[in-house]
Amino acid sequence: MEDKISAAIKNAIDNAPERKFVESIEFSFTIKDVDLKNPNNRIQEEVRLPSGRGKDVKVAMFATADAAQKAEAAGIHVIDPTTIEDLGGKRGDAKRLANRFDFFLSEVPHMGLIGRHLGVVLGPRGKMPRPVPPVVDPGVIAQGLQSTVVVKSRDKITFHAPIGTVSQSHEDLVKNAMEIYNRVIGKLERGLANIRTLYIKTSMGPSQRIEVVN
């Protein structure tokens, strides 16, 4: 399978029209014979890509006082927790905030408030904040997130995961793709037999199908 995935990555990049921005590359899975109405069967995995994501990951944190200072020192965007309730009443602003950042962190005391007012926006996007205890440096967590992707199916048989960008080497993209592939296959009861189709594509390029032989 690694050779097929490698060939699909090469073809996806070779056939993608030239763009004025660095395109991401995605792995697309369509699974079969899995009851996704049962939450226990859904794919929800955080995968640390061995070669990184190929771009800077944007992290924000709901924090005050010392935690806010530590976050700012680590290059994390700080959100004043007193704005949470107001954001919750402005769905458009909340959506823009959710789309602006890849991951969110929060001091523990603010998690309940975030859940009540922003959960409806952040939850479906898989972006509910990770709680940061007082003894933990948020910069350490943010650094780990720079190479992390979330692979989630929810209740859909087709789902996607980024494996990197076209700026990365072919070898690095293959390593990343295999990390995600192996994690997904490992979560399926019958492994590859639960896969209907696999595709690799750039952000705006044509999809490259990977032959699946069960």
Q: Please, what are the domains in the chain? A: 2-54+148-210 (3.30.190.20), 59-145 (3.40.50.790)
Q: How is the chain split among helix, strand and coil, in percent rounded to 5?
A: 40, 25, 35
Residue ranges of the chain with pLDDT lower than 70? 214
Handedness of CA 86, 88, 90, 94 (dihedral sign): positive
How many C-beta atoms surround the C-beta of residue 133 within 10 A? 8
CA–CA separation, 54 and 203 (whole Å): 14
Relative orientation angle of helices 111-122 and 91-100, to the nearest 10 degrees:
90
Which amino acid does the sequence have at 149?
A: V
Q: Are 54 and 203 in contact (CB under 8 A)?
A: no
Handedness of CA 17, 23, 25, 30 (dihedral sign): negative
Q: Are 56 and 210 in contact (CB under 8 A)?
A: no
Supply the pLDDT for residue 105.
97
Tell me the whole-structure pTM to 2 decimals.
0.85
Residue with tokens 């944007």: 58
Q: What is the pLDDT of residues 48-73, one digit of tens each?
A: 999 999 998 999 999 999 999 999 99
208-210 and 44-48 beta bridge pairing: unpaired
Which one, of 48, 47, 43, lies nearest residue 152 by Cα?
43
Q: What is the pLDDT of residues 91-114, one digit of tens each?
A: 899 999 999 999 999 999 999 999
Q: Are 42 and 154 in contact (CB under 8 A)?
A: yes
Edge-to-edge order in the sheet of strand 77-79: 77-79, 59-62, 103-107, 130-132
CA–CA separation, 102 and 99 (whole Å): 7
Supply the pLDDT for residue 134.
92
Buried b (16+ CB within 10 A) or exposed e, 9-46: bebbbeebeeeeeebbbbbbbebeebebeeeebbbeee
Supply the pLDDT for residue 26.
96
Supply the pLDDT for residue 16.
86
